[in-house]
Structure 1
């Protein structure tokens, strides 16, 4: 696999998102296959392995830690802090004490002595970002963290964070059906030299064409609560997938590979992290990293899947309020 640079951090041109191995898309059913998927990713040149302290409430970091044991030198390890689940629901923290506590807990669960890329998962509403990033800068100085990132932040927050300590990467949702960061956030990152790590580059699996009804989703799948997967919106969005499928057939690839290749072509500073817990899907995704697209191909893809055609919001209001702050 070719490599790209997130600021000064060199990684494989495609990473691996591990969230779905422990939560969100159905029952955590096969840790052995998940670990085998991580191992296969490393064999294929995928180096950026992405997790978070909140995924599976710590279980995903433990899983990733088991998978990379004995392979640490092959991995650019990314994790996150900031989202907190309480009895009252979901909240966000960014106070200095919490930042340092979270780092220590993640290091322990991952079984490592440093984190390569440590993200602020969401910007806290009640803590100045300067406090959060001051604590993060101290973690870098202590050698516990090598590079810092921020996730789902506004252009203003990115600038404020970068003024405290260089931001290596922004992680935000970016795909053919989620393009909101293109107006302000992407230009800000490029002005400041910050790499971009798109999560859900396959539209939470929808752009692969494998979901045609909510009946296709497990009972505990988080997508059942997302507006774009509601029956009325889903039916409209299926037209986008069908248009992509026709273009993909011309190139002898799948709709998912075409959608993922579109993200890969957004720049040398863009490293998507499609998530999967199966080796078969991993290998399909990795093949998209070297799929060549011409300018005409890109124009046809964007015409087949215009942002204006997507029906439904990304998130329900309870989650959306913490995005883009």
Structure 2
């Protein structure tokens, strides 16, 4: 069965190509030109000339006189003819062919090359994880099922709900309860600030599950091969990931936060916990709100920098 490529990091592919492959693009040129020339020339000329030269000269020397008469005549008659012919046949054809590798070709060549070189790509299975055969820095190919976990989408839905009901209307519920320190205007601004920080430069987290192990992918929305795709178009779908291992966690007591990109994960964890009573208040008023996802991934986990994703 052929895999369908839906995600491709072009910059990572080109960087790896310069290391694992030859790093250049082939260009082949063939030229042939045809030029046929025929030429000729002819020349015909006649020449005729006639001349007469007469001189009369007297010399007078003391005691002696002399006289000289000179007559000179010349005549010339001639003709000249020349005929020439030239023919030339020159054959040259010109054709230029360029072979340029696309990023998809580079991706295919890269995978083939890395598979041919043993121990470069670890086609992971569950036994490999359990036996600790995988280490940070390895290139791996692994399959997992996309989960619905998304902190940015949860925040978007929550802000949208607050804006739909109106901040003043929701704050009227707080006045009747013993809740102090926050209102829904403050809550909305805190959530907007968190959303900006964890989605900066178009990056986000994609969580997959494979048996008892979670896969955390740091993806960029701009790398989907079709701009019409959305990350969660593939929820509950099985995807094959080719990428590089950034982190491995086998200790169930430790966890990794989906708020880590904010660089203030503990602070924002407390912020989300502090607004829970206000959201519970709205739920008691029959206002439907999204379910809060887990901000921490617990249990066995592999963090991957994905190079390509196929379905």
TM-score in terms of structure 2 length: 0.24
The answer to which structure has the higher helix fraction is 1
If you compute each CA radius of gyration, which structure gives the higher value, 1 or 2?
2
